[in-house]
């Protein structure tokens, strides 16, 4: 099935609260995860909440990757959304799994922009 994009919704349970509250570590890790996926970074914005928690988004030429953490629940949610066939969002997911070391992780994969006809081909956009 041809789709314009792949969207992985990941939930990480039982993570170390100190990691989930470490803005610098999370931003650097997400940037590295994006690079491992093969995506092209456009911009990055992360925010430390008080008393705890981090939210961040990395805009990539192929869409975005975003996260929010709840250290008080040892929980993080990350979206890995990529368009086209050149980028592998599972490489970013695997890397963040190594960083967060959750006791449990679950994912849902959504195909976005499913093309009406199998004969339609995805255009490759050079970045």
CB 22 within 8 A of CB 104: no
| Whether 117 is catalytic | no
| Whether 68 is catalytic | yes
| Whether 83 is catalytic | yes
The H or E element containing residue 68 is strand 63-70
Of 15, 74, 83, 105, the catalytic one is 83
Of 15, 63, 74, 105, the catalytic one is 63
- Cis geometry, peptide bond prior to residue 19 (ω within 30 degrees of 0): no
Supply 48's token pair. Answer: 């430390």
Q: Name 76's Cβ contacts closer than 8 Å, sequence gap at least 6.
A: 11, 12, 15, 20, 67, 68, 69, 70, 100, 102
The residues annotated with a catalytic role in the active site are 63, 68, 83
């Amino acid at each position: 099935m041809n789709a314009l994009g792949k969207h992985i919704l990941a939930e990480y349970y039982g993570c170390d609260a100190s990691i989930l509250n470490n803005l610098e570590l999370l931003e650097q890790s997400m940037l590295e995860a994006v690079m491992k996926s093969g995506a092209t970074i456009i911009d990055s914005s992360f925010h430390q909440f008080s008393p705890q928690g981090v939210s961040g988004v990395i805009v990539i030429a192929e869409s975005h990757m975003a996260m929010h953490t709840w250290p008080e629940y040892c929980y993080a949610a990350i979206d890995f959304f990529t368009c086209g066939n050149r980028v592998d969002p599972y490489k970013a997911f695997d890397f963040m799994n190594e960083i967060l070391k959750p006791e449990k992780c679950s994912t849902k994969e959504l195909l976005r922009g499913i093309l009406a006809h199998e004969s339609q081909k995805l255009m490759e956009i050079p970045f």
